[in-house]
Amino acid sequence: MTKLLLNKIQQLSERLKASQTVMRERLSTINKQFVLIVFLLVLLCTLTLPFVLTPVNKEEPEIEISLEDEIEIIPDDQSSSVQEETAVIEVPDLTGPEQVHEDLGDEPVEAQQELSFDELEKRALLGELKATSRTMVKGDSLLSLLSEQNVPANERMEIVEALELVLDLKSLRPGLTFLFIHDLDGRLMGLSVRQKENESLAVMREKDDSWVTFSQTGKVETKQEHFQVVIERTFSGSAQKAGVPSNVINQITGAFDGEFDFSTDIKPGDTIDVILEGKVTQGGLEIGTKQAVYIGLKTSKMNIHKYAYNGTFYDARGRTSEKVIMKRPLKARPRLSSPYGKRRHPVLQYEIFHKGVDLAVPKNTPVVAAADGTVEIIGRKGSYGKYIRLGHKGGYQTAYAHLNGYRQDLKVGSKVKRGEVIAYVGSTGRSTGPHLHFEVIKNGNVVNPFGNNKISSTQLTGFELEKFQSWAESIHPDFKLHLAGKIPPVQPVKPF
């Protein structure tokens, strides 16, 4: 038993020894491996350390270099920024130095220029620049307008080229208003033209005398003014004194043409009330010509109210006044050299029928339209020489013969207003001296030009009448009274 036990113990201790040696061996290999790993690690570190450290070490000299560079570059930088600033100075007006960088897009630059044109308008309001507005009429072109504004030929072409980039020049038409801004030496600094209600195109002179084009948004506002003319002696003198523009004085006499004669019928104390309408840009500049939208005439005998709606004068009920066809459609007082009707020929001694009246005036006296109408014939017509025939409402026509020349822009289809110049007196065709042969034709038959030829009034109806009346009410606070005919009684002027 004991032997067996001893054996077992011996076996066990031997196993233990054996396992111990295995353990030792294992441990030693682990140790060796550990040492190896540590060695390798150390080796790795020593190998990589220079690489890890060198970049850090290298960065320092780089920073030093760049610092040195910057220090060296600073003077260069300064000089370049100085150059930029001088470049900025060459760019006109409000462009600050910060804005002139290549990375800025076109839009901010445009926005700057938009401000610049407003600036031009503001400077014009302050009197530092001079603004002129001009509305295109038939026969005008952009080039002719520029020439009229004393723009040198080379600049005219440059401006046209600049505008062509943004505008179809064929779209320029009568009625468009240009705003020209000059410096005090008369040099054109910029111009703008408005084609749409809330957008205008502008061309502006750069500091290097090149031209830049851009569009501006902003509405033109309508402004109304009220004038009262109290007659002292003459109508035109009193109207000028009241500040009524000369074109409006003509508009007033034209509105009453054939109805009231301002040169003979007006008396001291009579009054004319005028409401004018004008257009003002956002910059505050007045553009275009002012037009009368209301005229009220008060004399001891009458009280007339006229509203100008779409270019035609109506009373409060929407009626135009009867228009007498002018008997002597000339800008000078003529001598009647031959009347209308049968006459014996002074030389041939037989009776002929004179279809019109002969009005003797000096050569080139302006001939005016005897009534509102449309050109039907313009050109040579046998013994009549140079000839114009106009067509009017109510079956009327008027004819003008022996002319020396026609108004330049007139052609078949042109609309003319009563009193508007259409031609010039001459002696063309079968004529013995300068005179106007004037005919009035009614429904195809000649009638006496000195007879009572009236074009009857027209009346607005329906929706058009409603539109007119609501507009008129917005123009004059007393419109309802004018409509009802309840006009305060006129105090007759007492003799003493």
**Per-residue contact track with Zn ion, 349 to 378, x per CB under 5 A?**
---------x--------------------
Rounded to the nearest whole angstrom, what is the least distance from the CB of residue 375 to Zn ion in the complex?
21
Q: In this structure, how many other beta carbons lie within 10 angstroms of the beta carbon of residue 111? A: 12
* CA-based end-to-end distance of the chain: 176
Rounded to the nearest whole angstrom, what is the least distance from the CB of residue 332 to Zn ion in the complex?
18
| Smaller CB separation from Zn ion, 212 or 436 | 436
CA distance 431 to 383: 8
| Smaller CB separation from Zn ion, 262 or 400 | 400
Rounded to the nearest whole angstrom, what is the least distance from the CB of residue 429 to Zn ion in the complex?
10
Segment contacting Zn ion by CB under 5 A, of 54-62, 224-232, 431-439, 474-482: 431-439
Q: Is 437 in the site for Zn ion (CB under 5 A)?
A: yes
How many residues of this chain interact with Zn ion, rule: CB under 5 A?
Answer: 2
Rounded to the nearest whole angstrom, what is the least distance from the CB of residue 439 to Zn ion in the complex?
8
Rounded to the nearest whole angstrom, what is the least distance from the CB of residue 425 to Zn ion in the complex?
12
Q: Is 439 in the site for Zn ion (CB under 5 A)?
A: no
| Smaller CB separation from Zn ion, 140 or 358 | 358
Rounded to the nearest whole angstrom, what is the least distance from the CB of residue 341 to Zn ion in the complex?
11
| Smaller CB separation from Zn ion, 338 or 414 | 338
458: amino acid identity, one letter: T
Segment contacting Zn ion by CB under 5 A, of 96-104, 128-136, 404-412, 432-440: 432-440
| Smaller CB separation from Zn ion, 215 or 427 | 427
| Smaller CB separation from Zn ion, 191 or 399 | 399
Q: What is the DSSP string of 103-170?
A: TS-HHHHHHHHHHHHHHHHHHHHTTSSEEEEEE--TT--HHHHHHHTT--HHHHHHHHHHHHTT--GG
- Do 316 and 487 touch, CB atoms closer than 8 A? no
Rounded to the nearest whole angstrom, what is the least distance from the CB of residue 384 to Zn ion in the complex?
9
Q: What is the DSSP string of 306-327?
A: EEEETTEEE-TTSBPPPEEPPS
Radius of gyration of the chain (CA): 47
Q: Which two tokens stand for residue 16?
A: 């233990």
Q: Which two tokens stand for residue 88?
A: 């900025």
CA distance 194 to 176: 7
| Smaller CB separation from Zn ion, 267 or 380 | 380
Rounded to the nearest whole angstrom, what is the least distance from the CB of residue 440 to Zn ion in the complex?
13
Segment contacting Zn ion by CB under 5 A, of 101-109, 245-253, 340-348, 437-445: 437-445
DSSP 492: P
Q: b/e map of 379-416 (b: 16 or more CB within 10 Å)?
A: eebeebbbbbbbebebebbbbbbbbbebbeebeeebeb
CA distance 275 to 294: 5
Residue that is written with structure tokens 């530092």 in the block:
128
Q: CA angle at residue 447 from 446 to 452, to 5 degrees?
A: 155
Rounded to the nearest whole angstrom, what is the least distance from the CB of residue 427 to Zn ion in the complex?
12
Q: Is 482 in the site for Zn ion (CB under 5 A)?
A: no
Segment contacting Zn ion by CB under 5 A, of 24-32, 117-125, 306-314, 435-443: 435-443
287: amino acid identity, one letter: I
| Smaller CB separation from Zn ion, 307 or 400 | 400
Which residues contact Zn ion (rule: CB under 5 A)?
A: 358, 437
